[in-house]
Amino acid sequence: MSAVLESDCFREEALRIGGERVHTGRSIDVLNPFNGERVGSVAMASVDDVRRAMDIAQAYLPTLTRYERSAILNRAAALLRERTEAASDLITAESGLSKKDSVYEIGRVADVLNFGANEALRDDGQVFSCDLTPHGKRRKVITTREPLLGVITAITPFNHPMNQVAHKVVPSVATNNRMVLKPSEKVPLSAYWFADLLYEAGLPPEMLQVVSGDPREIADELITHPKVDLITFTGGVPIGKYIAATAGYKRLVLELGGNDPLIVMDDADLDKASDLAVQGSYKNSGQRCTAVKRMLVHQKVLAEFTERVVAKTRAWTYGDPMDRRNEMGTVIDEAAAEHFQRVVDEAVLQGARLLVGNRRDGAIYSPTVLDRVHPDMTVVREETFGPVSPIIGFKDIDEAIRISNGTAFGLSSGICTNRFDDAARFARELKVGSVNLWEVPGYRIELTPFGGIKDSGLGYKEGVQEAIKSFTNCKTFSMPW
Ligand code: NAD
């Protein structure tokens, strides 16, 4: 299979099962959210197709050495970097993300591959001496990490069509696991492209199979199949909780929604803080689990901060995703844009003030700022997965922490202050998975632990290193010494 593609050609994708391209006679169209054109289609899997993929995966025993796994991942990274244009064109065509965002995403995917290649070479085993206590013995305990006995099911969301996939596939390859991937039916083409890249780089196809289809038909099979040992899911809270309730005796890694604040204290450099606010809110069309979804601002600087955010929002370019001058393309589809408009209209009816934005043209939704919101409005309470940011004032750090912790989510946060005691207090008291001082909530590198608590996740982390831990069983071997 070849990963070469012309960026402007129609892609008719088949399932990837056991090294074969399987056409099923049924397909799902993939539409460009900007102009409605068909970008491609993907085959729809049946429950039997999923079972066949599971059987093939379970029967295959990967034998790749650490060196071989690392070489495959590095090769794929090099190929991907060479093909940045084609790969980012595909992401932009099927998701409506701007070329700026999709080119950036390709860089991230290549990082995931390189980090995975490095980690594959690193033996993270530990050695314990056993004669540490009065009743100790002259023995040693050595730990090793082994691939899972069964198959990994991976289910990914639409917002980073290739990077969400890479964060699941790469740690699986690095640990010699076997994975069946179901990408989002909204953006499945990038996932197939990425799988082909890995096959081309030398990955045995039994180690990664891809099925697409209607989740109402195949999702239950993917999450309850007896050969599945682990489900790694990134997506919204309702489906995450459904998986948790349905999967039974299986390991679960759930990366769910967020409602992340950017907190601006009264000593903050407001130019820097407002830069972070707009970047955190609008990059990737605001469709990041860790996008800035609430701006919490000290009353003393609220007016000045708001003025700067409004000015920078007005200057944020958006529109045709392929136009490289645009910072922002569309959101995922027209229905999503309509939803944002409804939520903002509702807030305005309830007394919020619309400062800029809330304009829609098809799936294009303009960056939007609101103030005079209160915590029980939908736009504050729930995750708005788009370029909408309500600004909320607070009087002191106690109130900032209380508002920040006052939603069901606990993913990440960004803090703007130069006072170390305040920064340290936020780091201790925010009930989230990450606290970034002078950065957007989404800041991380692909290697570092990442993930949320409360409704945002069960506390298991992603990031290449942590995923490797959750995708393996730790075995100990002890011996006389
Ligand atoms: P979604 O929950 O609608 O869909 C995610 C995936 O679940 C898709 O592949 C979908 O086909 C599949 N699915 C649908 N029904 C299913 C079922 N019954 N059982 C199993 N799988 C099923 O999410 P989305 O709209 O694609 O993505 C947006 C959401 O993802 C947001 O809430 C966002 O915050 C979240 N997200 C979280 C992270 C994180 O790391 N915490 C990262 C990115 C996105």
Please give the angle made by the CA atoms of 361, 364 and 370, to the nearest 5 degrees.
95
Q: Are residues 218 and 201 in the same domain?
A: yes
Q: Provide the ipTM.
A: 0.96
**pLDDT for position 3:** 39
Q: What percent of the chain has pLDDT over 70?
A: 98
**Does residue 77 contact residue 118 with C-beta atoms inside 8 Å?**
no
**pLDDT for position 376:** 86
Atom 13 (ligand 1) nearest CA: 215
CA of residue 149 to ligand 1 center, whole Å: 26
What total number of domains does the chain contain? 2
Cα 416 to Cα 481: distance, rounded to the nearest angstrom: 53
Long-range contacts of 20-24 (CB under 8 A, 24+ apart): 22/49, 24/49
Residues 205-223 have a mean pLDDT of 98
| Nearest ligand 1 atom, CA 186 | 26
**pLDDT for position 4:** 38
Q: Are residues 87 and 211 in the same domain?
A: yes
Ligand 1 touching residue 260 (CB < 6 A): no
pTM as predicted: 0.97
Whose CA is closest to 262, among 247, 248, 250, 279?
A: 279
Q: Are residues 312 and 183 in the same domain?
A: no
Ligand 1 touching residue 217 (CB < 6 A): no
Q: Are residues 73 and 173 in the same domain?
A: yes
CA of residue 156 to ligand 1 center, whole Å: 6
* Model confidence at 2: pLDDT above 90: no
Task: Quote the domain boundaries for residue 295.
Answer: 260-437
pLDDT digits (tens, 9 = 90+) for 320-371: 999 999 999 999 999 999 999 999 999 999 999 999 999 999 999 999 999 9
CA of residue 232 to ligand 1 center, whole Å: 11
Here the CATH number for the domain that contains residue 290 is 3.40.309.10
pLDDT digits (tens, 9 = 90+) for 35-80: 999 999 999 999 999 999 999 999 999 999 999 999 999 999 999 9
Q: Are residues 81 and 171 in the same domain?
A: yes
Q: Are residues 406 and 344 in the same domain?
A: yes
CB-based burial label for 126 (10 Å; 0-12, 13-18, 19+): exposed
**pLDDT for position 1:** 37
* Model confidence at 5: pLDDT above 90: no
Q: Are residues 119 and 82 in the same domain?
A: yes
pLDDT digits (tens, 9 = 90+) for 90-131: 999 999 999 999 999 999 999 999 999 999 999 989 999 999
Angle separating helix axes 84-95 and 66-82, nearest 10 degrees: 80
Report residue 54 as tokens.
């599971």
Is residue 444 in some structural domain?
no
Is residue 386 in some structural domain?
yes
Cα 151 to Cα 179: distance, rounded to the nearest angstrom: 6
Is residue 445 in some structural domain?
no
Q: Are residues 283 and 412 in the same domain?
A: yes
**Backbone torsions φ then ψ of 123, nearest 5 degrees:** -85, 115
Is residue 51 in some structural domain?
yes
Ligand 1 touching residue 156 (CB < 6 A): yes
Is residue 442 in some structural domain?
no
Cα 29 to Cα 14: distance, rounded to the nearest angstrom: 12
pLDDT digits (tens, 9 = 90+) for 385-398: 999 989 999 999 99
Ligand 1 touching residue 262 (CB < 6 A): no
The one-letter amino acid at 350: Q
Here the CATH number for the domain that contains residue 470 is 3.40.605.10
Is residue 86 in some structural domain?
yes
Pocket perturbation via mutation, ligand 1, pick of 95, 234, 412 by most ligand atoms within 8 A of CB: 234
CA of residue 387 to ligand 1 center, whole Å: 18
Residues 236-263 have a mean pLDDT of 97
Q: Are residues 89 and 40 in the same domain?
A: yes
Q: Are residues 230 and 264 in the same domain?
A: no
Is residue 446 in some structural domain?
no
Cα 168 to Cα 341: distance, rounded to the nearest angstrom: 33
Q: Are residues 269 and 245 in the same domain?
A: no
Assign 3-class secondary structure to the chain: CCCCCCCCCCEEECEEECCEEECCCCEEEEECCCCCCEEEEEECCCHHHHHHHHHHHHHCCCCCCHHHHHHHHHHHHHHHHHCHHHHHHHHHHHHCCCHHHHHHHHHHHHHHHHHHHHHHHCCCCCEEECCCCCCCCCEEEEEEEEECCCEEEEECCCCCCCHHHHHHHHHHHHCCCCEEEECCCCCHHHHHHHHHHHHHCCCCHHHEEECCCCHHHHHHHHHHCCCEEEEEEECCHHHHHHHHHHCCCCEEEEECCCCEEEEECCCCCHHHHHHHHHHHHHHHHHCCCCCEEEEEEEHHHHHHHHHHHHHHHHCCCECCCCCCCCCECCCCCHHHHHHHHHHHHHHHHCCCEEEECCCEECCEECCEEEECCCCCCHHHHCCCCCCEEEEEEECCHHHHHHHHCCCCEECCCEEECCCHHHHHHHHHHCCCCCCEECCCCCCCCCCCCECCEECCECCCCECHHHHHHHCEEEEEEEEEC
Residues 14-33 have a mean pLDDT of 98
Ligand 1 touching residue 92 (CB < 6 A): no
446 is catalytic: no
**pLDDT for position 7:** 46
Cα 72 to Cα 67: distance, rounded to the nearest angstrom: 9
Tokens 């989230």 belong to residue: 432
9 is catalytic: no
Is residue 454 in some structural domain?
no
Cα 449 to Cα 254: distance, rounded to the nearest angstrom: 14
**pLDDT for position 146:** 97
**Catalytic: which of 13, 94, 255, 439?**
255
**pLDDT for position 8:** 56
Q: Are residues 119 and 211 in the same domain?
A: yes
Mean pLDDT of all residues belonging to the chain = 96
Cα 428 to Cα 345: distance, rounded to the nearest angstrom: 36
**Catalytic: which of 94, 105, 221, 289?**
289
